[in-house]
Structure 1
Amino acid sequence: MSQDELEELILSGKPVENVDLSDIDWTDMPDGALNARHCVFRETGLTDAELAGAKFTDCTFERTRFAGANLTDAIFSGCSFFDGETRVGCDFSRADLEGATFENCNLSTSRFGLAGLFGAVFKNCKAAGADFEDARFSKQAGSRLAMSRVSFLSTRLDMASFRGAKLDDCVFSECSLRQADLRQVSFASADLRNSDFSEASFNGAFLDNADCRGATLLGVDLTRLSSFEGLKVSSDQLTDLVRPLGIRVFPATR
């Protein structure tokens, strides 16, 4: 598809379907939300592109760079951001993804350094090995720092890195974070229910008032946390939690 044909479709509000958009210049696109379906973006530079409110359905992104792109309120459904041959994900560094939604997407090994993810939602996604280190989950409101907000729902985040992230009040519901790097992460008042944190590294993490009921906490060492005052757990989780402390739990006797 030519540049002119694409711009005409965007201006008309019509969907862009079943085309290769790898060679499009995204630096000066016309106003209007892109609606792309079954399209291919291969080694595409979407750096600083204005794509607020765009919709991408069943699109393939291979080694695509979204650095600095405006993707606020964008919706990605059934998209792949992972190149199976090179095992490399896409680069979202510095992208503005406030209010964006990823559903049924493959984001494995993608990078989100300094990306704005306030209010973003990841649902039923694969994001194994994704790098969220230095991503921004909070929003500045005047002189006050607003509440952190991001939701990961039924998403696979095994071996992902969130090191040092501020994830207070965020949601990780029924996710898998096996062997994830959660060092120095602040999970204060976060909803972590029914997620799998087996062998994840929580060294220096803050879990004050976090809700971990139903979560798998195998390998979590309370002595290595910075704090966990008010941590909520289920009674059947106590054995795994206190084992590193040398405490043995026995059934109640009458």
Structure 2
Amino acid sequence: MQSVPDRLDDLPYAHLLVPHSGPLRGDRYDTVRFEGPLEVVSAGGGSFLECAFTGTELSGARLRQTRFNEVWVQGSRWVAVDCAESEWQDAGLVSTVLAGLTAYGSAVRRVVLRQCKLEAVNLRGAVLRDVVFEDCLLRDVDFGEAKLTDVSFPGSTLEEVRLSGAVLKQADFRGARSLGLTDGPHGLRGAILGSAQLFELAPQFAQALGITVKD
């Protein structure tokens, strides 16, 4: 599992960070620290390299086709943010709320989300590789038609999660606390499950195969 610090001071580039002022624009930001409520002015297509977002609040922001490389997001709340077709790489999100986030068609690689809440998040058609959802709540998250490779969910709770049409390869659900899948077992082809989870899902598998179980 990729190591992601819980404290700002533990970031390898913490001493280089400079505070940001003014609205966000579609520019290149390198070693910048963002705090508190953020105003966004046409920030789509921008890039963030070795940046930290601490306690930030974003609402209704448009960040399409934005690149987030080696960024750290902590204690933040992003609501109705449009991150469609964005790129996330070598990033960490800690104790952050993502609600109504649009991220379809995005590329997410080597990213850890720890103790985050994802609600009504659209990841349709996204490509996720080496992604860890650790102790997270995923509610009404849509992975439809997405590609999940080496993705894991240790300690996470899944509620109303959709996997319809998703392609799973080494997608490890064994550590998840619960598997609330709206599509039933149909989207789990290629997944790794624990025996207890398989037993829990047995009635849904039987129904999908048209099997009647009677004692």
| TM-score, structure 2 normalization | 0.79
Amino acid aligned to 1:164: G
Residue 164 (1) aligns with residue 125 (2)? yes
Task: Report Cα offsets for 1:39-68 as digits up to 9, x if no partner.
Answer: 6x5xx4512x232110123x2114544212
Shift of 1:183: 0.5
For the aligned residue pairs, the C-alpha RMSD in angstroms reads 2.5
Residue 60 (1) aligns with residue 37 (2)? yes
Shift of 1:213: 2.0
In structure 2, C-alpha distance between the alignment counterparts of 1:223 and 1:234, rounded to whole Å = 14
**Distance 1:226-1:176 versus aligned 2 partners, 3 A rule:** closer
Asked whether the equivalents of residues 120 and 149 of structure 1 are also in contact (C-alpha less than 8 Å), the reply is: yes
Q: Map 1:197-216; keep pairs closer than 5 Å.
A: 197-215=158-176, 216=178
Q: Secondary structure at the match of 1:183?
A: coil
Q: Secondary structure at the match of 1:244?
A: helix
Identity %: 20
Residue 152 (1) aligns with residue 129 (2)? no
Counterpart pick for 1:224 among 167, 180, 186: 186
In structure 1, C-alpha distance between the alignment counterparts of 2:195 and 2:205, rounded to whole Å = 18
Shift of 1:130: 0.7
* Bigger-Rg structure (1/2): 1
- Higher relative contact order, chain-length normalized (CA < 8 Å, sep 6+): 2
**Distance 1:94-1:208 versus aligned 2 partners, 3 A rule:** closer
**Distance 1:239-1:178 versus aligned 2 partners, 3 A rule:** farther
In structure 2, C-alpha distance between the alignment counterparts of 1:185 and 1:104, rounded to whole Å = 27
In structure 2, C-alpha distance between the alignment counterparts of 1:99 and 1:73, rounded to whole Å = 5
Q: How many residues align?
A: 193
Counterpart pick for 2:105 among 134, 142, 162: 134
Indicate the residue corresponding to 2:76 in structure 1: 105
**Distance 1:127-1:209 versus aligned 2 partners, 3 A rule:** same
Shift of 1:214: 3.4
Amino acid aligned to 1:224: H
In structure 2, C-alpha distance between the alignment counterparts of 1:103 and 1:159, rounded to whole Å = 20
Residue 188 (1) aligns with residue 172 (2)? no
Asked whether the equivalents of residues 158 and 178 of structure 1 are also in contact (C-alpha less than 8 Å), the reply is: yes
**Distance 1:66-1:240 versus aligned 2 partners, 3 A rule:** farther
Asked whether the equivalents of residues 90 and 111 of structure 2 are also in contact (C-alpha less than 8 Å), the reply is: yes
Residue 46 (1) aligns with residue 25 (2)? yes
| TM-score, structure 1 normalization | 0.68
Residue 118 (1) aligns with residue 89 (2)? yes
Task: Report Cα offsets for 1:90-119 as digits up to 9, x if no partner.
Answer: 222122211111111001211112222111
In structure 2, C-alpha distance between the alignment counterparts of 1:201 and 1:101, rounded to whole Å = 27
Task: Report Cα offsets for 1:214-233 as digits up to 9, x if no partner.
Answer: 3211235454227225x132
In structure 2, C-alpha distance between the alignment counterparts of 1:171 and 1:204, rounded to whole Å = 21
**Distance 1:207-1:213 versus aligned 2 partners, 3 A rule:** same
In structure 2, C-alpha distance between the alignment counterparts of 1:242 and 1:221, rounded to whole Å = 14
Asked whether the equivalents of residues 114 and 135 of structure 1 are also in contact (C-alpha less than 8 Å), the reply is: yes
Q: Secondary structure at the match of 1:121?
A: strand
Shift of 1:165: 1.1
Indicate the residue corresponding to 1:86 in structure 2: none
Asked whether the equivalents of residues 144 and 163 of structure 2 are also in contact (C-alpha less than 8 Å), the reply is: yes
What are structure 2's unaligned runs of at least 5 residues?
1-15
What are structure 1's unaligned runs of at least 5 residues?
1-31, 83-88, 138-147, 249-254
Q: Map 1:67-78; keep pairs closer than 5 Å.
A: 67-78=44-55
Higher strand proportion, which one?
A: 2
